[in-house]
Amino acid sequence: MPIYEYFCDTCDKKFETLVLGGEVPVCPECGTQDIRRLMSACGFISKGSGGETVSMSAGDSGCGPCTSSNCSSCGI
């Protein structure tokens, strides 16, 4: 089962959700579909790839969110 990390532009929050085939997840906070999928590897966020995901500055140095919860995607 693929668990993806998403970022909600409305709440400015990150969340993980299970995505079934073809399903478009919504933000658990505000219910919007205005969300972006982050790449599964946490390092990708800090590295960035042209600047779009780097705009998140809230404690994303390294793998912060993944050490406090189960981040099955990054394997830490």
Binding residue for Zn ion, selected from 7, 16, 27, 38, defined by CB under 5 A: 27
> What is the distance of C-alpha 17 from the center of its chain?
9
Separation of alpha carbons 53 and 74, rounded Å: 17
12 contributes a contact to Zn ion by CB under 5 A: no
Give the closest residue to 35 by CA, choosing from 57, 56, 59: 56
Least distance from C-beta 17 to Zn ion, angstroms? 12
Only one of the segments 7-15, 16-24, 40-48, 62-70 lies at the binding site for Zn ion (rule: CB under 5 A); that segment is 7-15
34 contributes a contact to Zn ion by CB under 5 A: no
